[in-house]
Amino acid sequence: MISIQNISKTFTLKSKTFKALDQVNMEIAEGDIVGIIGSSGAGKSTLIRCINLLEKPDNGAIVVRGRDLTKLNASELAAERKKIGMIFQHFNLLSSRTVFENVALPLELDKANKTHIQAKVTELLKIVGLEHKADEYPKNLSGGQKQRVAIARALANDPHLLLCDEATSALDPITTQSILQLLRDINQRLRITVLLITHEMEVVKAICNHVAVIDHGQLVAKGTLENILFNNSHPIIRQFLNTKNMTIPSDFNKTLQSQQNDGLFPLVEIELNGRVAFEDLVDTIYHHYKVPYKIIRAEIEYIGKKNFGKALLQLQGNADHNADVINYFNQHKIYNSVRGYA
Ligand SMILES: Nc1ncnc2c1ncn2[C@@H]1O[C@H](COP(=O)(O)OP(=O)(O)OP(=O)(O)O)[C@@H](O)[C@H]1O
């Protein structure tokens, strides 16, 4: 268990002070994969760096497995830090060392013997799928491979916690997915708690079971991914959700009008928030409100047992019945907007 208790951090630059973290409280259970999401400058990196005391918080406690890291002396802190791995956006590998030597570095610093280093590095390179690259130098690796080396290095001292600072931000989408899968695999196989910071909701959705949202140095929301998406009216959360309008297919767009006229039906875009299953929603529209409909587009995903996403529906009932359906959306806090009539 990691308990972040009332952490604040102020930076001073040219006699100006800036509060990067403001009384942040957070509990992280062992085995969780927690995503910390926030805009640029929100304080994500500062928070993650406070957890292993790369930044010393102004006040508050960082309690890791029962010990408050802010109260430890230098050698005690060094010992605790060994059990907290960290990876970075730009990998931070040593270019003059081979893949094997990069991964071996923490073990060498720890004065491990050669036999142990050989066995451990071989095992770690196997976990990250890079046994065949042991003798390569970082310059000959792809971004994804470099991050795998960095992950292997971060695991060298058998950490219980892995901190990931924008670990996939420099990678393309496919490589991002493979690194996220590797992190999930490590979390499950090695029972390592993972804390990752990102500005991408897709990263959070891909692997995190808990989410914390940080804005201007304050924790503005935290909970399971399902809960965060369920209570999605917070402006910062909305900023991270795909709130762009759906594209209306060209056949509908051609005849789209802004006013209701005879023979035209409203195109209603809805945002599913987990309160109503899409299957039940369309069933209600048809059977309860007796409104025929067309599903023009739908981008729906299940997270846990709840569905989220968007759909564009054409309601083909009479004006009163269509209005009843829209009222039903409003009652269930389903964001909706009439995009036009076609
Ligand atoms: N060492 C420092 N000295 C002065 N100000 C700092 C320092 N580190 C961070 N800050 C400031 O603290 C604020 C939070 O920075 P931080 O890097 O934690 O944000 P972030 O959410 O990780 O942003 P990004 O996603 O852009 O990396 C920013 O305004 C930043 O300029």
pLDDT at residue 284, as a whole number:
96
Distance, CA of 174 to CA of 234 (rounded, Å): 30
Most distant CA pair in the chain: distance in Å? Answer: 83
Tell how far the Cα of 20 is from the centroid of ligand 1, in angstroms: 7
Of 21-35, 156-170, 239-253, 320-334, the least confident = 239-253
Tell how far the Cα of 299 is from the centroid of ligand 1, in angstroms: 35
| Reported confidence tier of residue 302, pLDDT bands at 50, 70, 90 | confident
pLDDT at residue 46, as a whole number:
96
pLDDT at residue 26, as a whole number:
96
Backbone angles phi, psi at 123, to 5 degrees: -65, -45
Domains and CATH numbers, the chain: 2-240 (3.40.50.300), 250-341 (3.30.70.260)
From the CB of residue 231, how many other CB atoms can be counted at a distance below 10 Å? Answer: 14
Contacts of 151 (CB under 8 A, 6+ apart): 87, 128, 162, 179, 182, 183, 186
- Which residues are bridge partners to 3 per DSSP? 27, 63
What does the buried/exposed string (b/e) look like for 249-260 if buried means 16 or more CB atoms within 10 Å of the residue's CB? eeebeeeeeeee
Residue 169 identity = S
pLDDT at residue 223, as a whole number:
92
Distance, CA of 297 to CA of 253 (rounded, Å): 13
Q: Atom of ligand 1 at shortest distance to CA of 214?
A: 21
pLDDT tens digits, residue range 196-252?
999 888 899 899 999 999 999 999 999 998 888 887 777 788 777 766 789 999 989
Q: What is the pTM of this model?
A: 0.85
pLDDT at residue 8, as a whole number:
97
Tell how far the Cα of 250 is from the centroid of ligand 1, in angstroms: 44
Residue nearest to atom 29 of ligand 1 (CA): 41
**Residue 4 pLDDT greater than 80, yes or no:** yes
pLDDT at residue 341, as a whole number:
95
Pocket test for ligand 1, best of 7, 10, 11 (most atoms within 8 A of CB): 11
Q: Atom of ligand 1 at shortest distance to CA of 38?
A: 21
